[in-house]
Amino acid sequence: MAWGGNPRLHILTTDPSVAKVSGGRKKTVSFSSMPSEKKVSSAADCLAFMQGGCELKKVRPNSRIYSRFYTLDSELACLRWEPSKKDGDRARLDISAIREVRTGKSTETFLHNGPSDHLAEEAAFSIIHGDEYQSLDLVALSADVANIWVTGLRYLLSHPGAIGGGDGGVGEGSIGSKMRWNWLAAEFALVDEDGHEIVSEDTAVATICKLCPGIKEAKVRLRFKEIQRSKEKLTSHVTLEEFQEAYCELCTRPDVYFLLVQLSKDRECLDAQDLRLFLETEQGLSLATTEGCLELFCRFEPSAAGRERGLLGLDGFTRYLQSAECQLLDPEHQNVCQDMKMPLSHYFISASYRSYLLDDQVHGRADLGGLIRALQVGCRCLELGVTDGPEGEPLLGVDHVVNKYAFLTSQYPLLLYLCQRCSPSQQRTLAQHLKKVFGPKLYTPESLPVSLGGRATILPSPEQLKGKVLLVGKKLPPEVEGSEGEVSEEDEEIGTPMTLDPPESPEELVNFTKRSLTRVRPSSVRLDSSNPNPQGYWKGGVQLVALNQQTPGAMLDLTRGRFMQNGGCGYVLRPAVMREEVSYFSAQSQGCVPGVPPQTLRVKVISAHSLPKPQGSGAKGEVIDPYVVLELHGVPADCTEQRTRTAAQNQDAPLFDETFEFQVNMPELALLRFVVLDDDYIGDDFIGQYTIAFECLQPGYRNVPLLGLAGDTLPHASLFVHIAITNRRGGGKAQRRGLSVRRGVRRGREYVTLRNTGIKVLDDTFRPASGPLREATDLREDALCATVAFKEQCGLPPTATLKQCIQSLATRLQSPDGSPSATLTLKEGYPCLEPLGNLTDATRKLLNGYDTMISANKQLIENADGVHERIAQVQKEGMVFHEDLPRLVEKENLKGRKQSKAVESFAWNITVQKGQCDLLRSAKMDALDTLRQLALACEASGLILTSDGHYTPHGLSSRRGSSHGNGSS
């Protein structure tokens, strides 16, 4: 009962030759997500599927790939396959011989088999068996089928009593399934007024819709109708058993179920230790505590038994993953989180252009609602048109509206760009009118001890100008008193210091905008309200990119994504290389910031949920064929897009399980845009989108709320993804592309170099940094390569988590009596694994790899501060010459190209040293995190023996870092 029945399968024959080989058996098996099909919701479903069998591709070390039909026997005791040259008794693998089941392409066979490269990583898995730890390497036809085999096999390994149908068999159900079944019975009892364990169909449908927000009522009602027809019932009433069955079929998310059993030692529920390890290694919460985990159980676990016992079942885990705690957007960025005390020129500023026009730019109707909406979404620069009016009064008419809404969303300064066509006399009238309307909010030179005019070298900060309205634009000089007084739009400029002509080159523009505000707008001669791509201007440092806020689409999505990263206040700090007095930056080239390698962003699109039909489509029927496009926007070297396969006939909750990798040279300028589209459409194919700044991404398993075309939230519609980033805690950490042990040797290592400026005193000052720069690279790379080497020795890819490594190691360290043959001890504060008995050569080699990893991380932790200080000191000494650089260039008689090269090389050297200091500091934090994760994983795998059950890694008290959500303290 508690495990549900055998899942219905959608059998497809794709290759006639396959049917011939297997004696007519249809081999290609996949789950259908049609409402009439039953989804996997328990280990029993997985085992039943395996007993029915399916085709798997077997990858051999000799580079051959075979298609075989695999089944689990009725006693749950062995795997069998056909066809085979071996006889029936030999074409088998006993479950008792299996040591470990690994996901992905992690074994030697996969890593060195060229023909297997085209096989999907998510559909691959390996069965490690025998005393020599041989591998049976398999690839399913889809990721969900692979998950079924992995889940079923791991269940059998952790529940040996299930084999042969003995005690502890599948029929009894796991702890998690019992919790779920009892919770559903309790919910059913609340609506069962007569206590007869039967309710009306309407009541059952309403109860499921309440327990599973976002599910469509029609879908639930259809399932009950199918149950009624299958049982030939004369009544539409629903029994408790039917209620439980329907809920488990309709409300189980397979993706979450497979993740749960992977984390929970196959008990189908998480205890505090399981959740803590998940929060640390995947969600990036460095200081998660047992108490915090128990608090999460109280908030999200629906069953009373789970809350009392401190366990999180499938439904509680699903609720947690759908909650605000697991949103893709880092909650730190939901409020103002950046330094607001820097000059205005250091910020990108959200700007609107003619947002009061509803239609085109020439004949469009004016609507004050457009200005209100612009202010409500955080715009801090509005464009207002002013013309001469009758009786000497200029026509403005919107100032009262602007005054009312100016600071409701953001308290930071509002820039009003006046496109005025007024005569000098009416300009004076306009000035008095604006003073009267805005009162003390209006910025005037005497209102603050700072100035925006003249030749000031430093602009005031948003913090200084909080609550102020700044008028921006040109006024006519007094000598044109008698003229008509018109100022053309092309003549208008920001009323802030501009001592140079704006440079047409992006690099020169970046330097120019370090002190001056610059604004761009759509062409004034176009008829429609289309928008330019703001990224093209942000990469050059332009602070104010004015867009039509009334025109939905990708350009406005990018703008909203950019300004979401600082609490939506309308101001976002530009990248450091655009703010620092001395910096080298080239937006046009790869490796935009010298000395800082690009980050790797790995995005796994797992699934989508509650997808609506495209609003303007004429799609056939109710079923959609969705796919997801991932767009990376940023500097030219970063701009790219990738897409998932189309999930044909998958309705509103497709599974994708596809991983994509991006190289990000300039993270501070990068934006990631998810777009969900429909392949089966007539007309509009847009379903939803979500755009987020790279800096706001949270690693780990995350929920992506989808927005409509106008930026409105689509109820319950979301993507479920996994994020890993090279230099960010959590997500298992994405390693740099192409990293391997063989490339890690020092003689082949690429070191960042300093450039000669041609000025002796400067070159002599910078020269002492060469040594520590090499040391910094070696410390970082040695620790990274040692970690990758340990993963490879465990038979795992660089993308594996340290938790997976320790789990693999623990399997090999298990003695015949089940006790560990090694234990975690502290040596000088570092976690070491001490052997407790005789080990095989292979296992001892693994422990040596572990020791090498600990040693490399120890070297990094203990030497990073000293190397960092030496580099920073040289940088400080070099900056002393910054103000004197023109004189030094002149003294060396450098002119033309040599002069430019000297200045450029000086900026390069300063930027390299700063970048290396930042990387070294970050690497030390990563090393400390590595120690913590290793300790937690050893504890979870039974490799730790301490009196109090707690372990504090070396240097933990000095770690930097914070955690988010209530799962940490």
Q: What is the 8-class DSSP label of residue 312?
A: B
State whether the Cα torsion 863-864-865-870 is positive or negative.
positive
pLDDT, tens digit, 9 for 90 and up, residues 286-299: 778 889 999 999 99
Answer for the pair 549, 370: CB distance below 8 angstroms, yes or no: yes
pLDDT at residue 163 above 70?
yes
* pLDDT at residue number 957: 37
pLDDT at residue 950 above 90?
no
Q: Is 825 helix (H, G, I), strand (E, B) or coil?
A: strand
pLDDT, tens digit, 9 for 90 and up, residues 426-445: 888 888 888 899 999 999 87
Q: How far is 895 from 758, CA to CA, in rounded Å? A: 11
Going along the chain from its start, the domains and CATH numbers come out as: 43-162 (2.30.29.30), 179-251 (1.10.238.10), 252-326 (1.10.238.10), 334-451+458-472+505-575 (3.20.20.190), 599-726 (2.60.40.150), 760-941 (no CATH)
Answer for the pair 911, 507: CB distance below 8 angstroms, yes or no: no
Q: How far is 692 from 723, CA to CA, in rounded Å? A: 13
pLDDT at residue 187 above 90?
yes
Q: How far is 810 from 823, CA to CA, in rounded Å? A: 10
Which of 115, 105, 103 minimizes the C-alpha distance to 62? Answer: 115
Which of 147, 109, 148 minimizes the C-alpha distance to 128? Answer: 109
Strand partners, 832: 825
Q: Is 781 exposed, middle or buried (0-12, 13-18, 19+ CB in 10 A)?
A: buried
Please report, to the nearest 10 degrees, the dihedral formed by the alpha carbons of residues 384, 388, 392, 393 taken in order: -20
pLDDT at residue 6 above 90?
no
Q: How far is 738 from 247, CA to CA, in rounded Å? A: 45
Which CA distances in Å does 51 have to 70, 80, 245, 875, 896? 9, 10, 21, 67, 78
* Least trusted range by pLDDT, from 141-145, 617-621, 640-644, 819-823: 617-621
Answer for the pair 853, 847: CB distance below 8 angstroms, yes or no: no
Dig out the tokens for 785 from the structure: 């390569």
Please count the CA atoms within 13 angstroms of the CA of 501 that sit on its side-chain side.
3
Q: How far is 757 from 778, CA to CA, in rounded Å? A: 26
Q: How far is 724 from 731, CA to CA, in rounded Å? A: 4
* Least trusted range by pLDDT, from 452-461, 602-611, 934-943: 452-461
- For tokens 């990631």, what's the residue? 672
Answer for the pair 730, 717: CB distance below 8 angstroms, yes or no: no
* Least trusted range by pLDDT, from 37-41, 403-407, 635-639, 669-673: 37-41
Greatest extent of the chain over all pairs of C-alpha atoms, in Å: 107
* Residue 10 CB partners (closer than 8 Å, separation 6+): 29, 30, 31, 32, 34, 37
State whether the Cα torsion 256-260-266-267 is positive or negative.
negative
Strand partners, 823: 834
For residues 695-710, b (16+ Cβ closer than 10 Å) or e, as one string? bbbbbbbbbbbbbbbe
Which helix (DSSP H) or strand (DSSP E) does residue 71 occupy? strand 65-72
Q: How far is 630 from 697, CA to CA, in rounded Å? A: 14
Please report, to the nearest 10 degrees, the dihedral formed by the alpha carbons of residues 173, 175, 176, 182 taken in order: 80
Which CA distances in Å does 440 have to 1, 30, 407, 444, 466? 73, 69, 13, 9, 12
Average pLDDT over residues 173-184: 90
Provide the terminal-to-terminal Cα distance of the chain, rounded to the nearest Å: 41
Dig out the tokens for 301 from the structure: 């676990």
Q: How far is 745 from 739, CA to CA, in rounded Å? A: 11
- For tokens 């103002």, what's the residue? 336
Q: Is 958 helix (H, G, I), strand (E, B) or coil?
A: helix
For residues 860-880, b (16+ Cβ closer than 10 Å) or e, as one string? bbbbbeebbebbbebbeebee
Q: What is the pTM of this model?
A: 0.86
Answer for the pair 796, 106: CB distance below 8 angstroms, yes or no: yes
Mean pLDDT of the chain: 83
The highest-confidence range among 384-388, 640-644, 824-828, by mean pLDDT, is 640-644
In 211-354 the beta strands, taken as DSSP E runs, fall at 238-239, 347-352
Q: How many CB atoms lie within 10 A of CB 492?
A: 18
pLDDT at residue 493 above 50?
no
At position 141, the amino acid (one-letter code) is L
Per the document, the length of the chain is 969
Dig out the tokens for 944 from the structure: 């730790």
- pLDDT top residue among 710 and 747: 710
- For tokens 């934006």, what's the residue? 671
* Least trusted range by pLDDT, from 27-41, 111-125, 127-141: 27-41
What confidence category does residue 852 fall into, taking pLDDT thresholds of 50, 70 and 90? very high
Task: Write out the DSSP string of 99-155.
Answer: EEEEESS-SHHHHT-GGGGGS-GGGEEEEEETTTTEEEEEE-SSHHHHHHHHHHHHH
Q: How far is 207 from 649, CA to CA, in rounded Å? A: 27
Report phi then psi at 69, rounded to 5: -100, 115
Answer for the pair 823, 943: CB distance below 8 angstroms, yes or no: yes
* pLDDT at residue number 365: 57
At position 252, the amino acid (one-letter code) is T
Rama region for 589: left / alpha / beta (φ>0; ψ in -120 to 50; rest): beta
pLDDT, tens digit, 9 for 90 and up, residues 42-73: 888 899 999 999 999 999 887 788 899 999 99
Dig out the tokens for 82 from the structure: 């056909």
Which of 392, 395, 394, 368 minimizes the C-alpha distance to 382? Answer: 368
At position 915, the amino acid (one-letter code) is G
* pLDDT at residue number 87: 64
pLDDT at residue 551 above 50?
yes
* pLDDT at residue number 531: 85
- For tokens 């600990």, what's the residue? 854
Strand partners, 824: 833, 944
Answer for the pair 345, 516: CB distance below 8 angstroms, yes or no: yes
Answer for the pair 149, 50: CB distance below 8 angstroms, yes or no: yes
Q: What share of the chain in percent tops pLDDT 90?
A: 50
* Residue 235 CB partners (closer than 8 Å, separation 6+): 228
Rama region for 741: left / alpha / beta (φ>0; ψ in -120 to 50; rest): alpha
* Least trusted range by pLDDT, from 273-277, 414-418, 730-734: 730-734
- pLDDT top residue among 379 and 61: 379
Task: Write out the DSSP string of 666-703.
Answer: -GGG-EEEEEEEESS-SB--EEEEEEEEGGGBPPEEEE
Strand partners, 830: 827
State whether the Cα torsion 396-397-403-407 is positive or negative.
negative
What confidence category does residue 676 fall into, taking pLDDT thresholds of 50, 70 and 90? very high
Which of 436, 348, 325, 415 minimizes the C-alpha distance to 703? Answer: 325
Q: How far is 373 from 361, CA to CA, in rounded Å? A: 18
The highest-confidence range among 17-31, 44-58, 448-462, 650-664, by mean pLDDT, is 44-58
